[in-house]
A and B are shown apart, each in its own frame.
Chain A
Amino acid sequence: MLDTEIRKKLSAIVGEKYLLDTPNELYAYSYDATPIHQAMPDAVAMPGSVEEVSAVLRLANVHGIPIIPRGSGTNLAGGTIPVEGGIVMNMNRFNRIYEIDKQNLTATLGPGVVTADLHQAVEAEGLFYPPDPGSMRISTVGGNMAQCAGGMRGLKYGVTKDYILGLEYVLPSGEVLRCGGKNMKDVAGYDMTRLMVGSEGTLGVITEITVKLLPLPETKRTLVAYYTNLVDAAKTVETVIASKIIPATIEFLDQSTMKVVDDFAKLGLPLEMKSMLLIEQDGPEELVVRDMERIAEIARQQGAAEVKLAQTAEEGAKLLAARRSALAALSRLRPTTILEDATVPRSRLAEMVEEVERIAEKYQVQICTFGHAGDGNLHPTCMTDERDKEEIHRVEQAFEEIFHAAIRLGGTITGEHGVGMAKRNYLDLKVGAGGIELMKRIKAAFDPNNIMNPGKMFASSGRRRVVVKR
C-alpha cells in the first residue's frame, strides 16, 4: 500500500479515476504473459500526458518508489511484473497516432498504440511498418520498443530497433528529453535512441515514438513445405539463404506444434509429417513469383515430402495467423507453458534443434519447438505444470542447458523477448561480468535511485519481494 500522503499526491496528478489500488485492480496487474512469476504492485497509475508522467516520476524518485512501465502486458520474460512492488505505470492512454508523414516516410505516435492498429493505419496509406511480433494484435508499440520485439518478418526487414528513429522520454528526475527524430542520418552524440530501445523500462519512460516506414510491398505469396525429419527443413533454410534469396519470413514448426496449431485453426495439416516450413516472400509480382519457384525447387531438392503454394492471399494469411497462435495453442497440452527464445546464427540452426531434442530427453521434459528459422531464432516451448515443483526444477535445468548450448553455438540467451526476470541470472553468459558492470553504470547514470523497473535485467538487487504464492 502507498503511504496516504503519497497516494493523495498521486491522485492529484493523474486524477482519481486513473489511479487504481483496490485489491482486485492490483491483482489484475500482478502478472503479464510470463508463466509462474507474479507479484503485487502498490498502485496502478494511468497517466494521460507527458506532464503527468513527469510529475509521477518526480514523486516516485523522491520517495524511492519503483515504477514499472506497462503496455498491454504480453511480454514473456517477466518484464512488467512488479517484483519489488511500486507503481505500475500503464501507458495505454497514449494510444494516438499523431502523424503519418508521407514525405519523410515516418509515423509519430504515442507508446500505447497497439502494433496492429499502426499496421492498419499506415497500410491504408500504402506504407509499411514491418515489425510484427506474435502478439501484435494486443501488444503496444511502446512495449515492443522497450523489449525490442522481433517477429516473423525479421529475416528480411529486421526488428523493432531498425525502425525506431526518434523518441521523447522522461527520466526518473522528471526531466523530459528527446533523441533522434525524422533524420535518416544523425550522428549527433551517443545514439540514445538505440540505447532506449530494448532497455526494458529500466532507464526511463517513453512518451512518444517516431518510427520509420517503408512503401507497402506490392504483393506477397506464401508457401508451405512438409518434411519427414527436422534436419532437411533446417538444410532448406540454409540453402535458400546461401542462394542469395532473402524471404520475408521463414517459420519452422515441429510435429507437436503442428498438431496443436491444426487443432485450433483447422488447417488440415498432414500431421504424420515431422516438421514444416512456412515461407513468405513479398515485393514486386515478377520477383515474388520467381523467388517462390526457386524456393520450392530448393525445398524439394533438400528432401521436402510436399511443397504447396497458398492459392490466395487469404490462405497465406490464415497459415501465418495459425503460426502466431502456436504458443497459446501449445498451452492446451498442459497447464503451464514456458517459452524461450534462444537464438543462434542461422547456419547452426540444425545443430540447435538437435540440442533441444537431446536436452528434453535428458531431463525428461516435454519441449516443442517452433520459431523464426530464417533468423536462427527458435522458441523451444516447454509444457509443464507449475504446481509440480519437482518437474519445474527439471524444466529449469533443461532451459539452463539450452542457454549454454546456444552460447556455445555462437548464439544468445534471448533473441527477442528480453531478459526481464526470466533470464536475469543468465545475462553474464552472453555479456560477461564486465558487460554487466558497464550496463549497471549506464543505468545508474539514468536512474541513480534505482526506481525504474527494479529487479529486471540484472540478477537480484537484494530487495526482493515475496512472489505471490499459490
Chain B
Amino acid sequence: MRRPASSLALRAAILSVGFLAAFLLVWQVATHGVGRTEAMDPDYAALMGQTATTGKSAMPGPAEVGATIWRHLKDPFYDRGPNDKGIGIQLAYSIGRVALGYGLAVLVAIPIGFLIGMSPLIGRALDPYIQLLKPVSPLAWMPLALYTIKDSGLSAIFVIFICSLWPMLINTAFGVASTRKEWLNVARTLEVGPFRRAVTVVLPAAAPTILTGMRISIGIAWLVIVAAEMLVGGTGIGYFVWNEWNNLSITNVITSILVIGLVGMLLDQGLARAQRLVTFPE
C-alpha cells in the first residue's frame, strides 16, 4: 500500500514530539535530586545551600525553565535598571547590532564582490588579503576595535561587520565570475552598456549565490554577537547570558539558549525564503 506524502510529515511530527517527551522525562528525572542526605546544623545548612542539605539538583528542571520562559514571554520589555531588563529588550539590542553590522557588510561586500568577480586583475590583487583575513576569528578584532573606535557598542557592530563580510564577499565574487558567458554575450550583442549589463544580467545570474553568502553570513553574525556582547557587556542577549551566569540563574541561561536558537532559526529561514525568490530553474 502506498502512503500519501503527508503521512511522512505526520509520522515525523509524532516522532519529534516523542523525542521531546523523552528528553523532558530524562531531564526531569536527572534534576529531581536524591532527597535529604544527612542531618546538619541549621546554620551550617544555610551556608551549604540546597544541593548539600536536601540533595536537590542545582540544575533546574523542565518545569522551572518552563515557568521562567512563561514569565519572560509575559513581560519581555520591562526595564528595571541596567542589570534587569526584559529579554525582549536584550534581544532587540542584539538584533539591532547584527542588523547594523550586517547591513554595513552587505553594502561593502556586494559592490566589492562585483568588482572582484568582474575584474580578474582586482580579484588577484585582493586575493592574498582576503585569504589572510578570512580565517581570523572576529573576536580577535575586538581589542583593535575598542582601541580605535573607543566605544564598546560600536566595536561590537564592527566585529559583526567584519565577520559577515567574508562569506558575502567571496560568494558575490564567485557568483559574478561564474555568470554564463552566453548570457553576457546576449547582452553584448544587444549593445547593452556595462552598468545595465551588471544590473540586468550579472545581478540576477549571481543572486542565488549572493543570497547563499548572505545566509552563511547572518548565521555567523548571530553566533558572534553573543560572544561579542559577553565581552563588551552592558546590553544584548550575550550580556544577558553572562549576567545570568554571574547570578547563577541557570534557568535564565537555558531560556536564553532557547531564545537565541529561535531567533537564529528565524533569521536563517527569512534569508532562505529570499533565496528561493531569486533562484531560477534552468
Answer whether A and B are interacting partners: no
Question: B residues near A, CB below 8 A?
Answer: none
